[in-house]
Amino acid sequence: MGRSERRLFMLGLAAFSFAPANVHASAFKVRENSAESLATAYAGNASRADDVATVFNNPAGMNYLPGTQWEVGATVVAPSVHFAGNATLQGKAISQGPDTNAGQVALVPHAYGVFDLSDRLKAGIAVTAPFGNALDYANDWPGRYVNLKTAAISVDLNPNLSYRITDHISIGGGVSLQYMKLKLSTALAQFAIFGPGTPDGVYMLNVDNFAVGYNFGILAEPFEGTRIGITYRSGISHPLKGKLSFSAATLPGLGLVGAPASAKIDVPANIGGSITQQLFPDLSLSAEIQLSQWHTFKEVSVNAPPNPQFLFPEGYRDSWMFSVGGVYRWNDDWSLLAGTGFDESPVTDAYRDTGVPDAGRIMVGLGVSTKLSGGYTLNVGYSHYFSAEHASMDSSINALDPISGIVLHGRYTNSIDYLGVSLRASVE
């Protein structure tokens, strides 16, 4: 890798220092880790092995990439998150402002590298943001007493090795050093306790930590033009530490004080299976299925003695993602990509919360790939996610503020637009 390439690669890594994340795939999982994956709705992630992002998606695929290659890029995320409803205290509606978009435009970067160690052994590195979420509600929205702001940011450093066992089978695996940061803030309805006219207080949680996981995959080509991939990425338990603080308007009568805080988030294991078939010399089709084992994410409890425990029941279930997509080579320099799929939400009506007001979604993607001079390839992908239903808060236990008794009523209308750009280089 030349000096200029190294600088570009390191620039891609540095982008993670200030990259926020947003509402992405089911719950707060982020699959948008390359422009090609975005355009094909992730179909073929585990089997296509024609993109350097295979380092993360299926490390066994590194053996199908010739020589040394690297890729940097980012996805712009533009969500639309609108709530229609109100909140009541003892059956009477509380004051509220007009509806605004709680979704935050975000930039999610990615960086990959693949290197030869021998004829059959490859090394690779992936730097991604596999989990994230950011919602910022107006201070006068009706649900301010259950949530004002939620921000979860992750960075995953994932070195991998891939070994070609035979001409038709490769295996790969690695470890993930994953950083997770969680920030929460919620208004405190002091007027419900101390009488009308009492200003709201606000509590703010800021915690983070590093944790370690692992991943592995296998890629087989039983027949020429047919690739089958299977992958596994472990769950990771994040014991987060930091601080719980309160705004100056929070009254001493509540008995709440700033203190060191801890919380725990369990992100899910993921199992994927995929097949890619080269139907014609210029056309390949892929199908993908993934299972995210979200059942481990039952609750988030915040402990900051001498304050009482803050408990957020989540009750997630395992969820599936299905997609199909294809790549058509228009000519020697241009390729067209497309895909569609369904991403099931692990969030149930009984436990939906305003930090992740999620529902299942339909995904549609389009993209182009073009070869540039000097061994570079530019990929551009666009995708739109349609919510399959209006996410309702009416039957969720998280619609109730247990301190004041205020209850949130209503439902969400959500959609997301993505635009991803990736620059890839083959280094001779």
Q: What is the pLDDT at residue 6? A: 45
C-alpha span between 333 and 370 (Å, rounded) = 5
Exposed, middle or buried: residue 183 (CB in 10 Å: 0-12, 13-18, 19+)?
Answer: middle
Q: Where are the domains of the chain?
A: 3-427
Task: Express each pLDDT in 351-365 by its tens digit.
Answer: 999 999 989 999 999
* Whether CATH 2.40.160.60 fits 3-427: yes
Question: Whole-prediction pTM value?
Answer: 0.92
CA distance 313 to 311: 6
- In this predicted structure, what is the pLDDT of residue 27? 79
Residues of the chain below pLDDT 70: 1-26, 428
Q: What is the pLDDT of residue 13?
A: 43
Q: Is 109 exposed, middle or buried (0-12, 13-18, 19+ CB in 10 A)?
A: buried
Can you give the pLDDT at residue 259? 97
Confidence (pLDDT) at 427: 85
